[in-house]
Chain A
């Protein structure tokens, strides 16, 4: 399933479709610092014309177009240059667009408003990571239920987490979206690390379900599982009066500092439910139409 492409390119070139001044400045700064050559165009039509004659390693779309228009551009470019990467920027979130972008193999997706630091980090990732094209596979998707397979490596996890941040559903309070994204991130990385051993030949299965009053994420890893009660090296099992007692356990076992992921995830969602074997977990966040607070 995994197949890295050849990334041995002397001078790498990015094509940037014009956005607002702040975004353009950021992209110029990030790309030029890494020695990339940058070509700019004003719209997707110009981008397609230029891409038909010049191979680009990375294309970053402008915020003014809809994501579906960018995906269409991506599809055309990829038909002749299959390993081109695209980061989609859009001013307008539309239900289903994130899924379409993932399905078509976009590297990342940002819908406004987004943090400049997050975009800079993802551009860095697109420049630095090996050129994998199949890290995220959409197995089935509707705007309310999407099933994915994600390769067990950190770069893929970060891409997937950014796609999740791209779901700017205005009917969910920003604090709730942030809580779900953070909890999912912790569980996903745990699953890839402990269940998949960050082995890129292994995949985790993921589902996102948007219900009328809840968001549910499911993460199933390829490992043999574990018993939550036996995780004495995790903060989630530290007693209330000694919240970091697991630190001593980890030190005694020669483990690196850590053990906070499960606790953080558990506190940020309303329910965290493991299957009998511990390799399949559900995160449930009930949606409060009047906003949410971290408890």
Chain B
């Protein structure tokens, strides 16, 4: 049986609204938004979300660097997080364990830091592949959803 998970189209971007949870990161249940970017091989939490969710990343291992939105960031390893997503019937939700990395800007000047912090969290191709999800978008109808095979 196929199940659908509704997505939002905001400012002509495909947005996934979720509740994020991680005991190891001490994130109780918190609402979070992610922009879908099928041009990105990776998924990550933006610096804005790292600050908002008060995730300590100073002592965590750096996975390397990445250029994103005109800024260079360090990619920081995080333990897996759980994302809870609303189902199509809007009375149930489904949960996924997801591997995300956190972004930390390498910029020092106030203006460049602000530009880097304005970028959203992103779900890339790795999320769709690992979770075996298909992404459906009907842009002219402003309809978008994820679909997966439920057991």
Partners in one complex: no
